[in-house]
Amino acid sequence: MVIEKICCLGAGYVGGPTCSVIALKCPNITVTVCDKSVERINQWNSEKLPIYEPGLDEVVKKCRGKNLFFSTDIAKGIQEADLIFISVNTPTKTFGNGKGRAADLKYIESAARMIADLATSNKIVVEKSTVPVKAAEIIMKILRANTKPGVEYQILSNPEFLAEGTAHSRGQKAVQALCWVYEHWIPAKNILTTNTWSSELSKLAANAFLAQRISSINSLSAVCEATGADVSEVARAVGRDSRIGPKFLEASIGFGGSCFQKDILNLIYLCECLNLPEVAAYWQQVVSLNDYQKTRFTRKVIESLFNTVSDKKIAILGFSFKKNTGDTRESPAIYVSNTLLDEGAKLHIYDPKVEVDQIYYELTNAYVTSEPERVRKNIQIHDTAYSAVTGAHAIVLCTEWDEFKELDFKKIYDAMMKPAYIFDGRKILDHEALINIGFHVQTIGKRLSRAGSIRAQGSQTMP
């Protein structure tokens, strides 16, 4: 089976970059990324791409208009393709059965229906979105029930790092065809094939394990703060054991991003449906601990500022969920900002990559506030860290952008209200140097000599 044309439904964070790399690595394959959003496709066809990813601009510039196309003509994309990636969003359900936990598969279903309606020749359909176990069966059911005469489908699950196929022989050919695409740049020994259910569950399991490591080290960060141990030292020691390993042991303000929470909630829901309440409770704790970490950090900010932030200017440095991205989905900065806004603070926010409108959207949408106008009045977004911090009572560092380490903190200290506070939610700053300048500093998983909290000054509070 030779793949000449690939179509991808969904021009998001996964579909856009994945297809750009396929186009770069497979010059003989024509790749068309389709989306129902005209705005998104226009952005992909413009000088300013809709997402920031290091190196992505160059790849798109090199391939766009040659063998990489972005289009809203979904019908043409589907009809011409040999292989179709479904890379649409699978958000957590916000209503009805499974609300707050189950993945909402309405976009997957609509993509499958579009394929069934429009396809006039055989297709390999590859589920690229992260889905609950057995979602491939839903796609198969929809396609089979609506198939045009003579059209055959092979469904594969290929979440991120696994290539997989159904067991029968045509399915195996489809698996080989997809492997062939990847083998243009990935050594064959690194391409794993397995059955659909294992593939789907592996994706949820991988994210659950990664998030669990972060919640584990974050839980210990609280123990460190209470005892005087240093969580970085603990992580370094524990990570030296090769059975544990050093990666993903960075204590933080909490994990964010579009995947971890959504996928664990999805796993929890799956376990509940399978009547496995103990397993569901086990994974729920990973999410609960993450919520605890965000709450704990924010409470520390408020308590340190004499238990009131009302009308105080607070600088938020970093708004994306991690460095090197403009993505704000589930960013811990949203929780921190919302809580401070609820307490009456005036926020001055700076992030090197997040768009201004995106920050306003995250802090004023209907899910987080019933008073968008009041909130809007209390937010100011800045072009530089220096302008955000001028006149501030406190700096709350939410994202580990490298440029924050290079700031001139003496200059910043002079420009701030006194006492000047820094809350380093990512443990990236030189705390001793900041203390020497005169700052009151607090961070995650380490008690500092001049923390400046109420408790450090001899009174009560702080759990």
Ligand X SMILES: O=c1ccn([C@@H]2O[C@H](COP(=O)(O)OP(=O)(O)O[C@H]3O[C@H](CO)[C@@H](O)[C@H](O)[C@H]3O)[C@@H](O)[C@H]2O)c(=O)[nH]1
Ligand Y SMILES: NC(=O)c1ccc[n+]([C@@H]2O[C@H](COP(=O)([O-])OP(=O)(O)OC[C@H]3O[C@@H](n4cnc5c(N)ncnc54)[C@H](O)[C@@H]3O)[C@@H](O)[C@H]2O)c1
Q: Using CB under 6 A, pick the residue from 7, 26, 29, 34 that binds ligand Y.
A: 34
- Tokens, residue 358: 């995106």
- Please report, as a single letter, which amino acid is at residue 67: N
252 scored as a contact of ligand X (CB under 6 A):
yes
- CA–CA distance, 77 with 62 (Å, rounded to integer): 21
Beta carbon nearer to ligand Y, 18 or 252: 18
Beta carbon nearer to ligand Y, 11 or 429: 11
Q: Using CB under 6 A, pick the residue from 41, 155, 178, 259 that binds ligand X.
A: 259
Beta carbon nearer to ligand Y, 89 or 157: 89
256 scored as a contact of ligand X (CB under 6 A):
yes
What phi and psi values does residue 258 have, to the nearest 5 degrees? -80, -10
Beta carbon nearer to ligand Y, 129 or 443: 129
CB 449 within 8 A of CB 457: no
Beta carbon nearer to ligand Y, 88 or 345: 88
- Choose the catalytic residue: 259, 271, 273, 398: 259
186 CB-near residues (< 8 Å, 6+ apart):
none
160 scored as a contact of ligand X (CB under 6 A):
yes
362 scored as a contact of ligand X (CB under 6 A):
no
8 scored as a contact of ligand Y (CB under 6 A):
no
- Could you tell which of ligand X, ligand Y, none binds residue 89, using a CB distance below 5 to 8 A set by kind? ligand Y
Residue 271: active-site member: no
- Could you tell which of ligand Y, ligand X, none binds residue 397, using a CB distance below 5 to 8 A set by kind? none
- Using CA of residue 402, residue 405, residue 411, residue 414, what is the dihedral sign? positive
CB 10 within 8 A of CB 44: no
111 scored as a contact of ligand Y (CB under 6 A):
yes
Helix, strand, coil share (%) of the chain residues, nearest 5: 45, 10, 45
Q: Using CB under 6 A, pick the residue from 22, 35, 155, 423 that binds ligand Y.
A: 35
Q: Using CB under 6 A, pick the residue from 30, 92, 129, 215 that binds ligand Y.
A: 129
- Please report, as a single letter, which amino acid is at residue 448: L
φ/ψ bin of 7: left (φ > 0), alpha (ψ from -120 to 50), beta (otherwise): beta
- CA–CA distance, 44 with 29 (Å, rounded to integer): 19
Distances (CA, A) of 290 to 27, 57, 207: 43, 33, 14
Cα angle 144, 150, 151 (rounded to 5 degrees) comes to 50
Part in contact with ligand X (CB under 6 A); list of ranges 22-30, 149-157, 207-215, 443-451: 207-215
The whole-angstrom distance between residue 173's C-alpha and the CA centroid of its chain comes to 33
15 scored as a contact of ligand Y (CB under 6 A):
yes
Which residues here bind ligand X, judged by CB under 6 A? 130, 160, 207, 210, 214, 248-250, 252, 255-257, 259-260, 321-322
Which residues here bind ligand Y, judged by CB under 6 A? 9-15, 34-37, 40, 74, 87-90, 107, 110-111, 114, 129-130, 160, 258-259
